[in-house]
Amino acid sequence: MSSYLANGRSWDDAVAITPSATESNAFSGIYVGGAGNVSVVTEAGTTVTFTAPPVGSIIPIRTSKVLATTTATLLVGFR
């Protein structure tokens, strides 16, 4: 089984993210492929917006949702 490695974290799976206010989007990291903001609900229930993360970066955060207010594109979630 192969895995991804970034910032000392490894993941076994990656899927394209469709932001949604209602769907569960549980991830332990998010790759940002296109410009914009990333709005999430953390595993602890806190809503936070990452403003203009650099394209090509990985945000190492455990999420329960990636919100529809997200404007960044080409997002990939790691599990």
Beta bridge partners, 14, equal 78
In angstroms, how far is CA 35 from the centroid of its own chain? Answer: 13
- Provide the 3-class DSSP secondary structure of residue 68: coil
Kindly give the confidence (pLDDT) of every residue in the chain, 79 residues in length, as a single tens digit, with 9 standing for 90 and above.
Answer: 445 555 566 788 999 999 998 999 999 999 999 999 999 999 999 999 999 999 999 999 999 999 999 999 999 999 9
What are the boundaries of each domain within the chain?
4-78
* CA–CA gap between residue 51 and residue 26 (Å, rounded): 20
